[in-house]
Amino acid sequence: MKRLKPIIAISLLSLSILSCNNGNSNMPTKLSEKSFLGKWKWIETSGGKSYQEFFPPPAIYVVFKNNNICAFYRNDTIVSERNFLLTREKLYTADTQNIISFIDIRSDSAADYRNLPGMGQKYYGIGNDTLLIGDLGYDMFIYFYTKEN
């Protein structure tokens, strides 16, 4: 299973990049957040300069709401609430990528930031019940989530 997760992450990222158009526009294109809506359970974070893996303590999840707000929970208590924006942009590559931007923090309460994606722009890949959010910087942490019903 340990070897399978990086393969899944690379596959989702590849699908995300391959589904990009190579138009000449460098302007961001706003996307619908419909596929993001709902509750996503955090299952793992991996990456870093020396490759580390963090597995979740019980009951950590994020809820994406239709008003472009997402709330990160631990044990059913909000630890961070943020505005987000989904776009397609050309960042660090010639191809257009799916980007999620965490714009500002609406509330924060002593969050363990290893469990949360940082602020700013991240790439993402999304499937039927899988979401990954990855750093664009050289640390390259990837946050894996599964959709809850």
* pTM of the predicted protein model: 0.71
* Percent of the residues in the chain that have a pLDDT greater than 70, as a whole number: 66
Highest mean pLDDT among 3-12, 21-30, 54-63: 54-63
Label the pairing between strands 130-135 and 29-30. unpaired
DSSP element (H, E) containing 80: strand 77-89
68-125 pLDDT, tens per residue?
898 988 888 888 888 888 888 876 666 778 888 888 776 666 555 555 777 778 888 8
Q: Count other Cβ atoms within 10 Å, centred on residue 16.
A: 21
